[in-house]
Chain A
């Protein structure tokens, strides 16, 4: 499965688990508006670390977090910044 599909699948699963409704998952979707709260994102990053073997945010030297879903996927596709 591609990195992008893995991310989208995990987002949908976590939304189900947390009883949240996701906005349509388009490239330019602003993550803050996607329907997952900060705990949902924390779980997402932890699950993706298990699935993909990286946590690009904790590994990064300075704090950053992408704004859109497309940027979020790119961070994983590039294995960090």
Chain B
């Protein structure tokens, strides 16, 4: 299927044609977004934003979701500000993306003054519009990378590229209610937002600071059928008793390495569900989905062109050439792709038999006495231990080998305070590691912790030592 050159309708055109009403639900309100076919949240000010480079700085996901539908096709450029963005970087973002207007709500922190600020309600009402806007821009969508340090990179996408994976994998099985642990202002969450909007489905959004149990209860209450999140977010959800209330038909993981332990745990929790993991990044877009319940992906995916996406492995690192990839960096010198149009993802692969497995990030390597170690490959082994829910492997400075690896481990909720003494359990986990890993990859020390930090990106927090 060739997606290149196919221009999707604007989001507003798309919802105008919806056959059934679609809703966004958050903790406070429900909004029938299909009313935006001839309705607005902008109270007559939408056309003020026409043709501008608009910073979307709304604090609520609900207001963001509705504004995205209205601004696509109207704004020249849509710069989507993720939650918890560092205020100190905002000036650079505005300058690089030539922002000349901002959309805010009552929860937006004070922003630098711009020519034009349009305020919407954080729980907006959709009011009928006399006529839909006639201005037509091929809106550029600008997303920010989830880098933990420095100024975030700005990546330009268009709607055709962002929605290409959805047209290729449209679930057409009855009424769909999407839910996501992601924030829709990040690539992974935006994919789910677009699936809901294009699929005429509903979407359950989370609120800032909402406890996992409350979010799960709302997902259960709204009858969520399709649920997406990172492996870390799923591990955290599985630790919560409220998980028993949900029964999704489709469970999706992306954003981090889906190891066999989390796939098996989800299979155990949802025996009837389709459980799939996707590989995607803000730079390369969605490269592929895997739905066979196994970690990694078939080697046949590399070298072939599948749904227009081509992959190769160079020096162990996955490179992707894809119509779903970002178009370029905004306001930077750096090239996104190599001379052949491949984006280097920096995600390192290892071939075992007829499958490739992700072992970690090129930038995340720990050097133990000259030997390279990816923390993620050790975590995948620790997570296979039957009493472990999740783990974090990090570097500890060593006067002898420069670095050494140590692990923090969260036990499964039903195993805590039971059975073996902690010291015996540590020994057992270490024995399990020694059986599967070379010596330099076995953690020098293990500590049990009640929880591990998960960033707003949904990824495990890897603090720098």
Q: State A28–B444 Cα separation when bound (angstroms).
A: 27
Q: Please provide the chain B residues from 20 to 58 with a CB less than 8 Å away from any CB of chain A in the complex.
A: none
Q: Are A42 and B369 in contact (CB under 8 A)?
A: yes
Q: Are B401 and A57 in contact (CB under 8 A)?
A: no
Stretch at the interface among B94-102, B134-142, B392-400: B392-400
Q: Are B369 and A39 in contact (CB under 8 A)?
A: yes
| Shortest Cβ distance from B446 into A: residue | A50
Q: Are B439 and A42 in contact (CB under 8 A)?
A: no
Residue B119 at the chain A interface, CB threshold 8 Å: no
Q: Mark A29-54, 1 if CB is under 8 A from B, else 0.
A: 00000000011011101110010000
Q: Are B445 and A46 in contact (CB under 8 A)?
A: yes
Q: State A18–B434 Cα separation when bound (angstroms).
A: 9
B136 to chain A, nearest CB (A): 62
Q: Are B430 and A17 in contact (CB under 8 A)?
A: yes
Most chain B CB within 10 A, of A18, A42, A45, is at A42
Partner of B444, one of A38, A46, A58, A63: A46
Q: Are A63 and B440 in contact (CB under 8 A)?
A: no
Q: Mark B430-460, 1 if CB is under 8 A from A, else 0.
A: 1000100001101011010000000000000
Residues of B within 8 A of A18 (CB): 439
Residues of B within 8 A of A45 (CB): 398-400
Q: State A58–B398 Cα separation when bound (angstroms).
A: 7
Q: Are B399 and A39 in contact (CB under 8 A)?
A: no
Partner of A57, one of B399, B442, B445: B399
Q: Are B401 and A38 in contact (CB under 8 A)?
A: yes
Q: State A43–B434 Cα separation when bound (angstroms).
A: 14
Q: Mark B354-375, 1 if CB is under 8 A from A, else 0.
A: 0000000000000011000000
Q: Are A42 and B398 in contact (CB under 8 A)?
A: yes
Q: Are B434 and A42 in contact (CB under 8 A)?
A: no
Residue A55 at the chain B interface, CB threshold 8 Å: yes
Q: State A65–B401 Cα separation when bound (angstroms).
A: 13
Q: Please provide the chain B residues from 375 to 403 with a CB less than 8 Å away from any CB of chain A in the complex.
A: 396-401
Residues of A within 8 A of B369 (CB): 38-39, 42
Residues of B within 8 A of A43 (CB): 404, 444
The 22 listed contacts between A and B (C-beta, < 8 Å) are A17-B442, A18-B439, A38-B369, A38-B400, A39-B400, A39-B401, A39-B440, A42-B368, A42-B399, A42-B404, A43-B444, A45-B399, A46-B404, A46-B445, A50-B447, A55-B399, A57-B399, A58-B397, A58-B399, A63-B399, A65-B399, A65-B400
Residues on A facing B (Cβ under 8 Å): 17-18, 38-39, 41-43, 45-47, 50, 55, 57-58, 63, 65
